[in-house]
Amino acid sequence: MLSGLLLLAACRSNAPAEQQPGYIVQVSLGGWNSPDYTADRIVSRIDSVSSLINVEKVIIGWSLDKEIYRQVGEYLHSKDIRMLLWLPVFAETEDVCDNSPAIDLWGEVPSNYDLAAGEDFRFNCPSDPHNAANVVAIYDRLFSDCGFDGVFLDRIRTQSFVGGISGVLSCGCPLCAEAYAREGVDLEIVKKEWDSQGDAFLSVTGYDPAKGFSFANPVAAAFFEAKGRLVSGSVSAVADSLRSRGLEVGMDLFAPFMAPFVGQDYSILAQHADFIKPMLYRKTYAPAGMGFEYELLRKAVPGATSYPEFTMDVAFLDSQLEAMEPYACAKYPGIEINYRAGVAETSPEYVTESLDAVMRHHFDGAVLSWNIMEAPDSHIACLGGNND
Ligand SMILES: [Zn+2]
């Protein structure tokens, strides 16, 4: 028996440090209107999911039905699970407050993507202080008495290549022009440079997972650096206001390689977040999917040179996980577990392969996206470690 124990001890010491992943799940209630599910149904679903995996937090939103949060919150707190409000920041708030829209360098509102209802939203100007104040006011006015432990900030960016080049070269309103000028960037020069260079404006000289793309054109490089400071600075102010209310703050981010195009500067954002959730979706052929967004970039500027071919394999996932390593906040990469034919063709093998990569980087766990209410059970059970 002693030799058996010694053998066991030897096996354990040779194995990598055991770390149990923590899971954050999302409950999508479907917009501001009446929720898609009853509180009872949500409680019963979380109860069954947490018998399979270690659920640490539930992100839920953003229906205006307060009672649902009070009931779900009571259950979650009895199980020591934290409840975070899923709150959109720079889009989708038109129903509850007036915002100034983001416009591109030519004064137009960037076009939208309308794959399905709920994905055809407009973005708001990131520099307008009223827009940022509105977000905090929404929390105070509509959600502060619902028992939330934190807020999960979504849409903390500009439009991506979903809106073509126009979405990425936004916002160009007078307020943003002033803010860019303070960062040493003249938007008139950016516009002229784009007009004269065309696609070549976005040509790169290389890609390094840790540093991202290197822009060949110094005006483009300066624009995207300033854009990151502007957009992420505004997001940080919203995050700080919410944290001063004792709330935990999580952030929904584009994968590191695409983040600069939408104004997400990880080095700024991570300082104002309790955790970040980069959307490392390899199977999603829709907005925020890594391959999808990259393909849109290539299509938006076909003449831009030196963009490498990326395959959405584990090696690429590893490169994005590595890029997240330097940041001090907790890290819960987003893995899509929902299934949609032709859009997100996930499988238990895909889900476990992604989670294994996350844990090899010794991160805290993962956010299981995008709606636990509709996720196949087999994509959750496989994470419990009970199937081979
Ligand atoms: Zn603006």
What pLDDT does residue 119 have?
A: 54
The four Cα atoms 222, 223, 226, 232 give a dihedral, to 10 degrees, of -140
pLDDT digits (tens, 9 = 90+) for 205-228: 999 999 999 999 999 999 999 999
The count of C-alpha atoms lying within 13 angstroms of the C-alpha of 267, restricted to the half-sphere facing its C-beta, is 7
What contacts 185, CB < 8 A, 6 or more positions away? 222, 223, 226
Q: Please give the distance of CA 95 from its chain centroid, rounded to a whole number.
A: 22
The four Cα atoms 317, 323, 328, 330 give a dihedral, to 10 degrees, of -10
- Taking the centre of ligand 1 as the mean of its atom positions, its distance from the CA of residue 100, in whole angstroms, is 8
Which of 75-79, 82-86, 116-120, 186-190 has the lowest average pLDDT? 116-120
Cα 38 from Cα 19, distance rounded (Å): 35
Arithmetic mean of pLDDT, 147-164:
95
* Residue ranges near ligand 1 (ion) with Cβ within 5 Å: 125, 127, 171, 173, 175-176
Arithmetic mean of pLDDT, 133-148:
98
What pLDDT does residue 2 have?
A: 46
**Residue 18 binned pLDDT confidence (cut-offs 50, 70, 90):** low
pLDDT digits (tens, 9 = 90+) for 331-381: 999 999 999 999 999 999 999 999 999 999 999 999 999 999 999 999 999
The pTM of the full predicted model, rounded to 2 decimals, is 0.93
- Taking the centre of ligand 1 as the mean of its atom positions, its distance from the CA of residue 228, in whole angstroms, is 13
- Taking the centre of ligand 1 as the mean of its atom positions, its distance from the CA of residue 190, in whole angstroms, is 15
Query: CB–CB of 33/59 below 8 Å?
Result: no
Please state at what angle helix 187-197 crosses helix 218-243, rounded to 10 degrees: 130
- Taking the centre of ligand 1 as the mean of its atom positions, its distance from the CA of residue 107, in whole angstroms, is 10
- Write phi, then psi, for 262 (nearest 5 degrees): -110, 10
Alpha-carbon distance values, 332 to 23, 79, 235, 250, 379 (Å): 8, 21, 19, 9, 18
Query: CB–CB of 311/367 below 8 Å?
Result: no
